[in-house]
Structure 1
Amino acid sequence: MTDARDRYVERMGAALSDAGLQRLPSRVFAALTSDDDGRMTSAELVETLRVSPASVSGAVRYLAQIGFLHRERERGGRRDVYVVDDDAWLQAMLREDQVYAPMVTALDDALRDLPDASPARHRLLLMREFLVFVGGEMDGIAQRWLARRAEIEQDLG
């Protein structure tokens, strides 16, 4: 890895960690995003990040769960390749059914059992409505981003 890429991986990894993502998955994501084709095997990640195969395995499993990467078979081989898409952030944000829906269901269940005038009910109701609102806005955000991305791609030509 180049010095510039090393610095990016560490800086982006730290920024994502500060935002709440676990440290190694943050570094794996940064390494993948800085790879020219966005594809790396476990062995390449181990070598690049100088970590154990077991830690890479846990990190890629976590990143796949949250939609930041997906696994493919190496072309003509038996090894897995971990791939980050150009729109990894968008894909992760659009996982509303897997992220927001279970929380809304849990809130609905809790709200049924709380008295109407309860401060806890008020708080949970606001949480629920926020999640429903954000979920409803995601389609519009995605469409606006795709239009903006098309402009960027055209400018880059």
Structure 2
Amino acid sequence: MSQAAEGVNPDAHDALVEEFGMHVGRAMGWPPMAGRAAGLLMLSEKPMTLAELQDTLDASKGSVSEMTRLLMDNGTVERSKEAGQRHFVYRWRDDAWVGCLQHIVASTTQLRELAEHAQVLGAGMTAVQQQRLSDMQEYYHFMVGRLETLLSEYTAARESHRTQP
């Protein structure tokens, strides 16, 4: 399976890709293949084609396509087509952690909007139901605010760190 860079222990590389499959997949609620693809792309120093990902992960085209789409949707991987090339390539975004946090903010914002809409629709429901809908709205308002602040702080810290000598 190894796509380790020259001079890198291929066993350590492969073990880390497998660790990503197990831990990232579980933590994110993803299939292990998505975690393995994330680990592989994060450790790859060059973009990889779908065929290279398939071969390295020993997975079907459909599975790899689905996993790369998941990783793109979650803000960590990008797809591009280099000039003069026939195939798309996938690579770990330089700002993957910003992209990941942006995805979390966007997802949580969608849930806040649902909570606001649910509270309007639930206006005629019982006091218990209305309280639960109100709690949901309060929670998502809180979370979106905190996540937006966290994204802003992380982005600023990242930029500051990159501009320091």
Q: TM-score, normalised by structure 2?
A: 0.79
- Give the match for residue 37 of structure 2: 28
- Give the match for residue 135 of structure 1: 144
- Give the match for residue 113 of structure 1: 121
Instruction: Name stretches of at least 5 consecutive residues in structure 1 with no aligned partner.
Output: none
C-alpha distance in structure 1 between counterparts of 2:115 and 2:161, whole Å: 40
Q: Secondary structure at the match of 1:77?
A: coil
- Give the match for residue 55 of structure 1: 63
Q: Does structure 2 retain, via aligned residues, the 8 Å contact 1:69–1:85?
A: yes
2:50 to 42, 45, 55: 42
- Give the match for residue 26 of structure 2: 18
Say yes or no: does 1:81 pair with 2:104: no
Aligned AA for 2:31?
Q
- The Cα of 1:29 is off from its aligned counterpart by 0.9
C-alpha distance after superposition, 1:24-56 (max 9, x if no partner): 11111111011124x211111112111111110
Aligned AA for 1:121?
Q
Q: Does structure 1 retain, via aligned residues, the 8 Å contact 2:73–2:103?
A: no
- The Cα of 1:127 is off from its aligned counterpart by 2.2
Instruction: Name stretches of at least 5 consecutive residues in structure 2 with no aligned partner.
Output: 3-9
Aligned AA for 2:37?
V
Q: Does structure 2 retain, via aligned residues, the 8 Å contact 1:28–1:45?
A: yes
Q: Secondary structure at the match of 2:98?
A: helix
How many residues end up aligned between the 2 structures?
Answer: 155
Q: TM-score, normalised by structure 1?
A: 0.83
RMSD: 2.4
Deviates more, 1:9-18 or 1:62-71: 62-71
Q: Does structure 1 retain, via aligned residues, the 8 Å contact 2:76–2:97?
A: yes
1:144 to 153, 160, 164: 153
- The Cα of 1:18 is off from its aligned counterpart by 1.8
C-alpha distance in structure 1 between counterparts of 2:52 and 2:82, whole Å: 13
- The Cα of 1:129 is off from its aligned counterpart by 2.1
